[in-house]
Amino acid sequence: MTELEKTVTLGRGVVLAILMVIGSGLLGLPGLVSDAGTVQEVIFGWLLIILAAMPLIHICAELGKKFPYSGGLFHYAREAVGEWGGYAVTALVCGSFILGEPAVALIGGEYLQHLFNLPEYGVHFLAFLIITVMTLITIAGVRLVSFFNYAAVAILLFLIAALTFYNFNFFSSGLVFSVQALFEGLSGITGLNPGNSGPGNSSLYPDPYNIWKISALLFWAFLGWENMSFGLGESPGS
């Protein structure tokens, strides 16, 4: 079996892992879920997807140790159900790239359009430019990709730190508000609110469909762990 040349160092691996899990969803998903339901439904949606992500991370880590190959989900599915499972995962991944990458590029184009106050018709041109530049960087090799990955992580962490620092006063008030909203939602479900009729105050009673919709949106913010087998094929003896 042909061995891969070792190119993913610890630093590069950490940077790639951060970018796999923390991506464009951080910029768009919190706002989207805020419009998808009530405060109580949003909080329940966050809690549900956090709990669901924990076994996902553990399972992906165990599979990575058991099958130390860079194929990732393709290899896991092939081991589980046969060759057709690997082909099915390949088709799904290709489909996600075909549909997902243009969507991410359009999000980036929207940000650039607002940042530089460009005409609205320039969004599609900027999206095409982003995809072209990313393709050329990928073709250029791992070293250049690593450089841009380090730069992206530095910018992302800087933005998160700046947002946190200048809005830190929201942390305590937001935490208190979230706890209150959670208890109100639980009271609405159990019917413990005074003056309720039926299973709880309808304005506080969380809609299960909205919770599921919010969780489905937030699920994209927790993806990436299953792709962290990128460096396993470079381990000795593969």
Q: What integer is the mean pLDDT of 153-175?
A: 80
Mean pLDDT rounded to a whole number for the chain: 75
How far from chain centre, in Å, is Cα 207? 24
Q: Give the percent of the chain with pLDDT over 90.
A: 0
Lowest-confidence region among 39-43, 124-128, 194-198: 194-198
pLDDT at residue 44, as a whole number: 86
Position with higher pLDDT, 46 vs 149: 46
Q: What integer is the mean pLDDT of 198-210?
A: 63
CA distance 150 to 222: 21
Where do the structural domains in the chain lie, given as residue ranges? 10-234
Confidence (pTM)? 0.61
pLDDT in tens, 67-92: 777 677 888 888 888 888 888 888 88
